[in-house]
Amino acid sequence: MAFVILDPCRQEQSAECLTVCPVDCIEKGPEQYYIDPDVCIDCAACKSVCPVDAIVEEYDLTPDQETYLEQAEEFFAK
């Protein structure tokens, strides 16, 4: 399991999540930040500091939001 950053990040990109992640698994992508799903330890620290509530747990993703997990997997596969 991992946390996933959704599209509200695109307009905000405050990066507060980066400062609290204990395993340093959040990186800036071309349009938003992404969480590496293979490294995330599911601690929820990032979710609590996000000013636009853009971060959700993987199992809470709606079918329409699955694409953001796929984008994160593709981003870190590079």
Which positions lie near ligand SF4, rule CB under 6 A?
A: 3, 20-21, 23, 25-26, 35, 40-46
Closest approach of Cβ 21 to ligand SF4, in Å?
3
Please say whether the beta carbons of 1 and 35 come within 8 A.
no
Closest approach of Cβ 30 to ligand SF4, in Å?
19
Please say whether the beta carbons of 9 and 17 come within 8 A.
no
42 vs 60, which CB is nearer to ligand SF4? 42
10 vs 16, which CB is nearer to ligand SF4? 16
45 vs 52, which CB is nearer to ligand SF4? 45
Of the candidates 78, 75, 23, which has an alpha carbon nearest to the alpha carbon of residue 5?
Answer: 75
Torsion-angle region of 32 (φ positive above 0: left; ψ -120 to 50: alpha; else: beta): beta
